């Protein structure tokens, strides 16, 4: 079923009334805005919030795009156009037979598109009672994140209900719904990490970071960050590098993969200010398949720009970062921390929500 949102009008009131069949359900759906029993007059007051050129609330019915049948209800309220925020509420899939079929997720996605792309909101929030696990999962699939739990938030009969606060930012929305740009990275999952390593390798000591070594490739740059104390036990991996200084003054780095019968020679430019000062270095990281690939970047308009790729392999992580004119690749056993300014663009593979 493909859902479309259409404005909610007076003639839609009777059907909505028929869906709200108990005091508890009225509270779960509408909160303290309504009193049980729900009446036509209450809903008439409610839809007045939808009036005017800049209404304080946008109220919609959800319609089956094929049959025209009204199947749900949703609103985007507490619209603060100055602060660019809004709050989703009154989410309801009317027919119990239609629940659990992704309709709520489609409704929330559609109203977020209106909020972020038409109204240019920067933040949309919502609240959901913690016993409604299916709704929480649906909102998370759209891109909402849990921000907190308000314990004993609402009195309903003899019970106290907890409320989960959730929100999504515009940058999260844009990233979540631009993943089609990155479909080409999916085939990396299950491939060998060697498929992404550059072939031209020049090895040097990183004078700015004494605890790291750097492998310069013609394009990109490979940062080889490993714990030097563990060097002696890291002998089984797929990548082995040996450095030689020739009498002619040329410096040669030999690189050998686990399944490569002969070393691959590379010669540096002896005039380069970044000449190698090591004689021999080795690195190994286990010749495993890529388990997951994550992309971070930034958004500009309706486009996402990829800056960082993180490949998870059995024994650690390979991170590729792009800068103007150059790329850097870091290898380490811990997943790098996400920058405060990074936007998650996609995540493919095991454990990812595809």
**Strand order, beta sheet including 58-64:** 3-7, 58-64, 70-80, 85-93, 123-129, 159-169, 145-156
Judged against a pLDDT cut of 80, whether residue 151 lies above it is answered with yes
Per-residue model confidence as pLDDT tens digits over 230-262: 332 223 333 444 445 556 655 444 444 433 334
What is 3-176's CATH number? Answer: 3.40.630.30
Token reading at 73: 């209800």
Select from 298, 332, 297 the least CA-distant residue to 312. Answer: 332
Judged against a pLDDT cut of 50, whether residue 23 lies above it is answered with yes
Select from 122, 126, 124 the least CA-distant residue to 170. Answer: 122
What gap in Å lies between CA 322 and CA 49, rounded to an integer? 48
| Residues paired with residue 306 on neighbouring β-strands, in sequence order | 297
Per-residue model confidence as pLDDT tens digits over 190-227: 876 655 553 333 333 333 444 434 443 332 223 332 33
Contact 133, 99 (CB under 8 A): no
Q: At what angle do helices 133-142 and 103-113 cross, to 10 degrees?
A: 40
Residue with tokens 């005091």: 23
What gap in Å lies between CA 251 and CA 246, rounded to an integer? 6
What gap in Å lies between CA 348 and CA 179, rounded to an integer? 10
Continuous segment of H or E residues that includes residue 24: helix 23-30
C-alpha distances in angstroms, 135 versus 111, 163, 259, 333, 352?
15, 12, 50, 36, 19
Three-state secondary-structure class, residue 346: strand
What gap in Å lies between CA 295 and CA 321, rounded to an integer? 10
Per-residue model confidence as pLDDT tens digits over 86-96: 999 999 999 88
Residues 6+ apart with CB under 8 A from 211: 225, 228
Q: How many CB atoms lie within 10 A of CB 224?
A: 20
What gap in Å lies between CA 327 and CA 192, rounded to an integer? 20
Output the pLDDT for position 323: 58
Continuous segment of H or E residues that includes residue 166: strand 159-169
The residue-averaged pLDDT of 322-342 equals 67
What gap in Å lies between CA 1 and CA 62, rounded to an integer? 11
- The residue ranges of DSSP E strands in 8-84, in sequence order, are 58-64, 70-80
Judged against a pLDDT cut of 50, whether residue 67 lies above it is answered with yes
- Most confidently modeled of 77-91, 97-111, 276-290, 317-331? 77-91
DSSP 110-151: HHHHIIIIIS--SEEEEEEETT-HHHHHHHHHHT-EEEEEEE
What gap in Å lies between CA 65 and CA 190, rounded to an integer? 38
Per-residue model confidence as pLDDT tens digits over 119-131: 989 999 999 999 9
Contact 47, 74 (CB under 8 A): no
Token reading at 111: 């109203």
Select from 62, 66, 86 the least CA-distant residue to 76. Answer: 86
Q: Using CB atoms within 10 A of its CB, is residue 14 exposed (0-12), middle (13-18) or buried (19+)?
A: exposed
Delimiting residues of CATH 3.40.630.30 domain(s) in the chain: 3-176
Token reading at 46: 């409610």
Q: What is the pTM of this model?
A: 0.57
Alpha-carbon dihedral 243, 245, 250, 252, rounded to 10 degrees: -20
């Amino acid at each position: 079923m493909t859902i479309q949102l259409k404005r909610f009008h007076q003639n839609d009131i009777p059907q909505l009334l028929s869906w709200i069949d108990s005091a508890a359900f009225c509270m779960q759906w509408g909160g303290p805005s309504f009193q049980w029993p729900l009446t036509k007059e209450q809903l008439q007051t409610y839809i007045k919030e939808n009036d005017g050129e800049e209404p304080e609330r946008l109220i919609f019915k959800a319609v089956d795009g094929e049959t025209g049948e009204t199947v749900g209800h949703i609103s985007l309220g507490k619209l603060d156009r100055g602060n660019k925020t809004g709050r989703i509420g009154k989410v309801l899939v009317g027919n119990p037979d239609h629940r659990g079929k992704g309709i709520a997720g489609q409704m929330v996605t559609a109203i977020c598109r209106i909020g972020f792309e038409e109204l240019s909101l920067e933040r949309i929030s919502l609240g959901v009672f913690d016993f409604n696990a299916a709704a929480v999962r649906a909102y998370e699939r759209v891109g909402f994140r849990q921000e907190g739990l308000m314990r004993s938030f609402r009195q309903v009969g003899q019970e106290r209900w907890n409320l989960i606060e959730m929100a999504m930012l515009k940058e999260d929305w844009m990233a979540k719904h631009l993943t089609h740009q990155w479909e080409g990275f999916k085939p990396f999952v299950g491939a060998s990490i060697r498929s992404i390593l550059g072939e031209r390798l020049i090895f040097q000591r990183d004078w700015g970071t004494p605890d790291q070594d750097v492998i310069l490739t013609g394009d990109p740059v490979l940062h080889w960050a490993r714990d030097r104390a563990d060097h002696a036990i890291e002998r089984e991996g797929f990548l082995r590098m040996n450095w030689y200084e020739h009498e002619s003054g040329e410096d040669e780095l030999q690189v050998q993969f686990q399944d490569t019968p002969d070393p691959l020679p590379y010669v540096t430019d002896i005039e380069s200010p970044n000449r190698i000062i090591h004689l021999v270095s080795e690195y190994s990281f286990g010749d495993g398949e890529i388990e997951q690939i994550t992309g971070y970047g930034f958004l500009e308009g309706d486009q996402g720009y990829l800056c960082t790729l993180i490949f998870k392999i059995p024994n650690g992580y390979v991170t590729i970062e792009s800068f103007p004119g150059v790329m850097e690749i870091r290898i380490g056993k811990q997943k790098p921390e996400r920058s405060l300014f990074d936007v998650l663009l996609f995540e493919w593979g095991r454990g990812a929500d595809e």
